[in-house]
Structure 1
């Protein structure tokens, strides 16, 4: 299904991220959004294990992941847990009645079922993603993993971490300057007035989310193209993905150009010339 639909579906590993770290991971997934998380402060009442608690933000995080990819609740969502039944099926049940139209579970999950007898009794060697010979490793993709907040228990990161991880993607997506970022960083040097700051911030508020979503989609689509190629996707599928990538880069270039023109209309000639000087200096420092 993932090979055929590509970015038109959401493939989610619903296991605890620490579990994934020790038992294996596949980069074919779009995101890790755990249905249950290990609660190390609670012991299971009947089993000799820590208690698992349902992630209270599971449905919210699924909806956010769909929206971030330009998808909606009518698009396919595929869930994968360890064996398919203990978390995958209940996670599907939790999404019922919340507007989702196509929710599926990977049969036998990532690790598969246990062997019932012999020397390897209780080992998970039957069926499942790993035992089918599909791509997996112990190397995780940080961009797809779940980072729970201590209070909200949802996917978050500090503002500095988000900026640090996002900037390389933005610079890769287009070579055009990030005008607003340079202006914000050099507001004192440019001697912006309160009115100019207000006008520039209004532009950011109206356009930043769309630009960020486009940049993230470019990075995600490039990964999808690589994975699809490795797993034998047809030329037609690969060309369709590459055409979408071209369209996204064009869209981003239009947005950047509009941003430049807007900034030029707000700044004075002296301020704009100073901004150009700052950008040229930054470019020279980067290339040296």
Structure 2
């Protein structure tokens, strides 16, 4: 995996000329360091605010891997693409996930995966990285964040607590 990281770092240094700001480049580098330190089997993990900066400036694609039901009843990020990692209320693994991700986004993009808490998106990132998606990142904290002491989400971290854009139909 280190050879993969080396090629990503070279791509990042070249991308500064293409307009990737130093701050965004540093965000990706920190995400990759996080992956190395935690022995992750994908490119890296990135905090929600940094993920949004990358999406907002057009340097990454945000892919929501939650179920249709979660998106409908809890909310979603308006600029996100939906490719469910699991489906239905029983969370059955989507056997078409990698094919759908490839057809909707492509393997050549920088992809940020978002789920409820950052756990399913990490599993999806591992599968995508193994399938040849070289620039796939997990969004830490997820959309709703971790459970607090009262077993409630949306209280201590997550996309929504950072006041990042989201909608609910």
Is residue 95 from structure 1 mapped to residue 128 from structure 2 by the alignment? yes
Which secondary structure does the structure 2 equivalent of 1:75 belong to? coil
Which secondary structure does the structure 2 equivalent of 1:104 belong to? strand
**Equivalent position to 2:83, from 33, 36, 39:** 33
Is residue 123 from structure 1 mapped to residue 152 from structure 2 by the alignment? yes
| Structure with greater Cα Rg | 1
**Equivalent position to 2:142, from 100, 109, 118:** 109
TM-score, normalised by the number of residues in structure 2: 0.64
Which secondary structure does the structure 2 equivalent of 1:91 belong to? helix
- Counterparts of 2:93 and 2:83, CA distance in 1: 11
Displacement of 1:28: 2.4
- Counterparts of 2:67 and 2:104, CA distance in 1: 17
Is residue 134 from structure 1 mapped to residue 143 from structure 2 by the alignment? no
Correspondence for 1:247: none
- Structure with more of its chain in helix, by fraction: 1
TM-score, normalised by the number of residues in structure 1: 0.38
**Equivalent position to 1:62, from 94, 101, 119:** 101
**Equivalent position to 1:53, from 77, 92, 95:** 92
Is residue 24 from structure 1 mapped to residue 78 from structure 2 by the alignment? no
**Equivalent position to 1:3, from 37, 47, 56:** 56
Which secondary structure does the structure 1 equivalent of 2:165 belong to? coil
Which secondary structure does the structure 2 equivalent of 1:12 belong to? strand
- Counterparts of 2:128 and 2:62, CA distance in 1: 15
Structure 1 runs of 4+ off > 6 angstroms? Answer: none
- Counterparts of 1:10 and 1:135, CA distance in 2: 15
- Counterparts of 2:130 and 2:139, CA distance in 1: 21
Which secondary structure does the structure 2 equivalent of 1:60 belong to? helix
Displacement of 1:18: 1.1
Mapping of residues 173-188 of structure 1, within 5 Å = none
Displacement of 1:110: 0.3
Displacement of 1:60: 0.2
Displacement of 1:111: 0.4
In structure 1, stretches of 5+ residues that fail to align are 39-49, 67-71, 140-288
Residues 142-196 of structure 1: per-residue CA shift (max 9 Å, x gap): xxxxxxxxxxxxxxxxxxxxxxxxxxxxxxxxxxxxxxxxxxxxxxxxxxxxxxx
- Counterparts of 2:166 and 2:61, CA distance in 1: 18
